[in-house]
Structure 1
Amino acid sequence: MLRILILLVWVATLGACVDRSVSVILPQALEVGTAQTVFAATTRARESDGRYGYRRAEDLRFLELTVSIPPNHRPGTLDFSYSNPDPAKQFVLAGLKEFDGPQDLKARLNGAQEVTIFVHGFNATQTETAFRAAQLAHDIGLPGQTLIYSWPSRGSGTGYAYDLDSMLFARDGLQETVATLKSIGVPRILIVAHSMGGALTMEMMRQAELREPGWSRRNLEGVVLISPDLDVDVFRSQMASIQNPPDPFLVIVSRKDRVLGISARLRGTAKGERLGNIRSTDRIAEYPISIIDTTAFDRDAESSHFVAATSPALLSILGALRRVSRTFGKDNGGIDLLVPPSARNEDGATEVVLTETGQVRVSSP
């Protein structure tokens, strides 16, 4: 436990060296880099200087962010700077536009048939989240247009308790984001959530189901939880309320996720286990979900807590699946190709183990 506390203090000290809420906007970066549009729905309060920081806002705002991706970008990497960014080598925020309301967003989406909502996790700023979403969209090819749900994380290594409260606060805003996209004519919505964002997504769906049974399946094309920082018992209680979850429903795990191991031990869990680093799928075997084991790719990933975004080898496989989906089938995210319906367990969960050679082993827990 002492070692864990020392690590947390070290991480918090690093985070205190810079003001991560400051976003340098360089339009000229697009003369060097590749433009990637990322839309945003946020429940962060707008500060007097225009920044969207960690304070909570009652109203949902919509934005358009333009990210410049450097020409030397390698899949799985995310290089950026909080001051004096270099567009030739780093991700740079090239533009930010605030919309007056949903109709402005509708005009910019320009009839998009699909939107992927990326929900960030603990200790994230809005600009960092936009960079990560742009990287995923570029490296994999996220379905349709990309929109981040930017909930009011403290953006600090010492802000875990604040972020837990903000995550619960942000449930209504995420449900409103989905409802708004539906109201302006987007037929297919996919949620991709990372870490604590997975807990937020599950909480949102649970409360929506309690209010309106069947809401999740009617409104969401699919759900992908990446490294969810979520207690397994809590997940089971949430799934009890979501009796007909979206299809497909993917949970991407890695048994070597060190961040989730720390999270679990801080909560007094002897085995150091969260949903995102679960070692046995027996306790969730009854649910109609697919569990994607990416442990084999931990070695080449920059982050054991975000293997799906930082492993070049895994990104290559996922990108190939997206290309196959666009070429040979209905492009509903490409995630179905990991676990085609014909290979799924009809009576519960399907476990998929991805190997470094690109092979896929499918089994029932």
Structure 2
Amino acid sequence: MPSHPLGFDSVALRATITLADGRHDQLAQRFYANLFASNPELRDLFPASMETQRSRLVSALIRIVGSAENREDLVAYLEGLGRDHRKFGVITEHYAPLGSALVLAFRQELGEQWTERHEKAWIQAYDTMAMIMAESAERDAVISPAWWDAEVVFHRRLLDDLAIIQARPHTDYPYRPGQYAYVMSPRRPKMWRAYSMASAPRDDGLVEFHVRAVGAGWVSSALVWRTEAGDVLRLGAPQGFDLANPRSERDLLCIAGGVGIAPILSGLQELEQRLDGRRVHVFYAGRDRDSLYALPHLESIGVRYRRLTVVPVVSPDGPEDRSPDLMGNIVSAYGDWREHDVYLAGPTRMVQAALDRLREQQIPEEQIVCDDYGTW
């Protein structure tokens, strides 16, 4: 069995995720049931509804196992998780019961398929992951708060289901263009949802978010329809990719749909401000022209930042939104992107369709970024 740089038995870890395929939600339900049964005081750290929390747990496990062979990426992800979990009130002493609940959930769900090797692999892996996360959180506690309070100073609904919100954090909020933050509304206590910053860091300290109310989304609906100036939001630590990374010299390909344009706007503002010499192509998809709400802003930036090319992608009239499939086809037909850094944000189906076409062009994976907002 080959050794892993972090001591992981990657084969056994992947096998358990595969064995649990189709039962991920049941696995997550068992995890939280075990956790709260043995540590009922931890229930207060979580919202009343656990559906989103269960989904995040599964996404994080899949992400961790999928990155097990890439030490640098995995450590960076775990360190980010450790810092982010401070906003929930997680402390070092909580990691042991979390690990016990997770291993027990796997054992219960997989039954006779669960082997001694699987158990040993998860215990060893979890101990290492917990150590990385806890140490990162402890380092972060020395220099940063667990969350930032930010007062809403501007709220405007551009569309019936879409709002622009500007908030001023009470203390300095250091982030980079392209990053995102988990946001909690006072009207939805303990419910955190991820939103990308839509503006580059500003001298006046304002942070802008673009929020679309989705389905039965409790947080998004509260932010779009029930938020007003004077409300105080909570912001988690900034996370994710620095879209305006000055260390890269490659041109940029940005692919966005809906409010996925927000982090791209943030990056473009910074590139424009520092007169960056890279060329940027932005493909921006929507069901119809009205849904491309940020197009005037993009065009305004393009007037000043002449190295920007914007390509709107609108679905033809019909009962279904075909823009995700159109996006992939148009991007692949437009040119050769192998020498570009690629950033994708937006609806999952659109991102996946574009990714499939880009991989057909054999673009190196290390040049492609799409934040998944995953967390435990």
Pairwise same-fold verdict (TM > 0.5): no
TM-score scaled by length of structure 2: 0.31
Asked which structure has the greater CA Rg, the reply is 2
TM-score scaled by length of structure 1: 0.32
